[in-house]
Homo-oligomer: A and B are copies of this chain.
Amino acid sequence: MTDRMPDRAIASLDGASRTLALQRLDSLTKPLGSLGRLEALAAQLCAIQGTVSPRLSAPNAVVFAGDHGIARRGVSAYPPEVTAQMVANFLEGGAAISVLARREGFSLTVVDAGVDAHFAPDLHLIDAKVRRGTRDFGFEAAMTRAECRDALARAERIVHRIAADGSNTLILGEMGIGNTASASVLMHGLTEVPLPDCVGRGTGLDDHGLAHKVELLTAACARCAPPAEPLELLTEFGGYEIAMLVGAVLAAARDRMVILVDGFTVTVAALLASRMAPAVLDYCVFGHCSAERAHRTLLEIMQVRPVLDLEMRLGEGSGAAIALGVLRAALVLYSNMATFTQARVSERVG
């Protein structure tokens, strides 16, 4: 595989469409600016799609699943086999993201990025498994450089195919027992926020569990200081599902898709992707601020404001999926409200 140069192919947003969108918003029968953040979302959609008549076509939630070597040493409130069990739950329709997919009317694509289990072939599961779980980054690099590149490339192919099939809206989610541990070290490496402030309770560690998690991650960073170069960092401390999220963000931006970012782990992946291609962030809508405490810190550092703040922390793309409803509301208001002229309503005084 040749070196990838994603930066080249990601288009700048269309400023002219954004300006026209803001003009249309000011012409609608409402006090100026009174749709608040919905106005910014509508304008972002226009700028991404390069049109004043944007659409959210065939939204697709892609959930990447992977296992983590370090999870065997207890960095989660749940045992590692839950990753595989939840993949089965996605496919059988019982998980939160499955329920939301039916309610909100979006497709759900489940990708085995590196789960430590064998799955029977399934119509709705993409087998992109790099390996049955990463190595324990407390002792060695989580993956090889070749595996990392493989993970990115596989995700890019999957997302390009989703776009080619007619979707322009991607919801990104993940499942992987232990993956907030990985995301915490990546955040530390990317932001230089002190490691303990990057670590949270994940699926619900108690104080003792949290202290143990901080201790293990501190030891891992003593073994190898987090590299500054994003692919090296990902190779050393990442997960296969996180590497695929990075690839998915790069590919989706290249295809000018709206990227609905879910919680802490997906946000870390988006930040990492932006170190390879800064323009990817223009395509991201940050769906929610999760209860994982480092997520709020990270969003503040990135100077982005999430759509929702509901103390959710179950991953799978669930927070982003609920934010899709708000994005759709922003779009229908932008597209369908009457103008002052159409409705013969008086405009503001002075």
Q: Tell me the A residues contacting B by CB distance below 8 Å.
A: 29-38, 74, 77-79, 81-82, 85-86, 88-89, 92-96, 99-100, 102-104, 202-204, 291, 307-314, 322, 325-326, 328-329, 332-333, 336-338, 342-350
Q: Are A29 and B346 in contact (CB under 8 A)?
A: no
Q: Are B345 and A82 in contact (CB under 8 A)?
A: yes
Question: What are 10 sample pairs from A and B whose C-beta atoms fall under 8 A apart?
Answer: A29-B94, A29-B95, A31-B204, A32-B77, A34-B204, A82-B345, A94-B342, A99-B336, A203-B348, A310-B326
Contacts of A348 in B (CB 8 A): 77-78, 203-204
Q: Are A328 and B36 in contact (CB under 8 A)?
A: no
Contacts of A311 in B (CB 8 A): 36-37
* Cβ of A337 to closest chain B Cβ, rounded Å: 6
Question: A322 vs B33: C-alpha distance in the bound complex, in angstroms?
Answer: 17
Question: A281 vs B82: C-alpha distance in the bound complex, in angstroms?
Answer: 40
How many chain copies? 2
Question: A234 vs B93: C-alpha distance in the bound complex, in angstroms?
Answer: 51
Partner of A329, one of B38, B103, B202: B103
Question: A246 vs B103: C-alpha distance in the bound complex, in angstroms?
Answer: 33
Partner of A343, one of B33, B81, B94, B104: B94
Contacts of A202 in B (CB 8 A): 31
Nearest B residue to A203 by beta-carbon distance?
Answer: B31
Contacts of A85 in B (CB 8 A): 343-346
* Cβ of A98 to closest chain B Cβ, rounded Å: 8
Question: A61 vs B318: C-alpha distance in the bound complex, in angstroms?
Answer: 27
Contacts of A81 in B (CB 8 A): 346
Nearest B residue to A290 by beta-carbon distance?
Answer: B36
* Cβ of A260 to closest chain B Cβ, rounded Å: 14
Residue from A33, A96, A322 whose CB has the most chain B CB atoms within 10 Å: A96
Question: A349 vs B347: C-alpha distance in the bound complex, in angstroms?
Answer: 61
* Cβ of A62 to closest chain B Cβ, rounded Å: 19
Contacts of A92 in B (CB 8 A): 338, 343
Contacts of A34 in B (CB 8 A): 203-204, 291, 312-314
* Cβ of A209 to closest chain B Cβ, rounded Å: 9
Q: Are B95 and A337 in contact (CB under 8 A)?
A: yes
* Cβ of A104 to closest chain B Cβ, rounded Å: 8
* Cβ of A342 to closest chain B Cβ, rounded Å: 6
Q: Are A89 and B333 in contact (CB under 8 A)?
A: no
* Cβ of A144 to closest chain B Cβ, rounded Å: 30
Partner of A314, one of B30, B77, B95, B104: B30
Partner of A349, one of B33, B79, B345: B79
Question: A328 vs B336: C-alpha distance in the bound complex, in angstroms?
Answer: 23
Contacts of A31 in B (CB 8 A): 77-78, 202-204, 313-314
Partner of A94, one of B102, B325, B338: B338
